[in-house]
Amino acid sequence: MVTNTKIPLQKIIKGDLNAFEKLFKIYYEELCLFAYKYLKDMDLSEQIVQDVFYTFWKNREKLTIHTSVKSYLYTATKNQCLKEIRSKKYEEQYIYHEKSIPGQNVNTPVDELNAKELNNLIELTLKTLPEKTRQIFTLSRYQGLKYTEIAEKLSISIKTVEARMGKALKEFRKNLTDYQQAS
């Protein structure tokens, strides 16, 4: 265990990879076991902990740790585990809901054709969007990231994410309106 985490933290903030690796080696295994208590899946637990360390390193210059580094890492790991649990819970509820509606999964050929046309329209609309806007839309709608997470991941402001999502959604609404009027 590290008795004085302030020295390595200052080194890490300045970009000292050796200090970061030392911190990683000290806490990685115990954080994985901690995450496992929540997730009951060791592979997922390891992924969560790796993401926590990645985010820690990536944001090292902006970090403000009010407690110990250990507490910070445990809290970050717990929060990521809870986020994963919520995500799985909603996915399971959706699957249960879909299965519980009688006749819901029966598609007619017309339904399948409409779905295919709609998917084509979505793909065409995505291709017309500027690259950054398309990337933001994909991170939000397909990967389920929040605007703050997208802003952090792409190193842009939340306002930029909001503005580009607004433009993307406006383009989708326009194309869907045109599609509905043509049908």
Domains 6-96 and 107-182 share a fold: no
Distance from C-alpha of 91 to C-alpha of 73, rounded to nearest angstrom: 27
Overall pTM surpassing 0.85 (yes/no): no
Q: What is the pLDDT along the chain (183 residues), one digit of tens a residue?
A: 444 445 578 888 888 899 999 999 999 999 999 999 999 899 999 999 999 999 999 998 888 888 889 999 999 999 999 988 887 766 666 666 555 555 555 566 766 767 778 788 888 888 899 999 999 988 988 888 898 999 999 999 989 999 998 888 888 888 877 766 666
Contact indicator for 154, 135 with CB cutoff of 8 Å: yes
CATH fold of 6-96 reads Rna Polymerase Sigma Factor; Chain: A (1.10.1740)
- Domain extents in the chain: 6-96, 107-182
* CATH placement of domain 107-182: 1.10.10.10
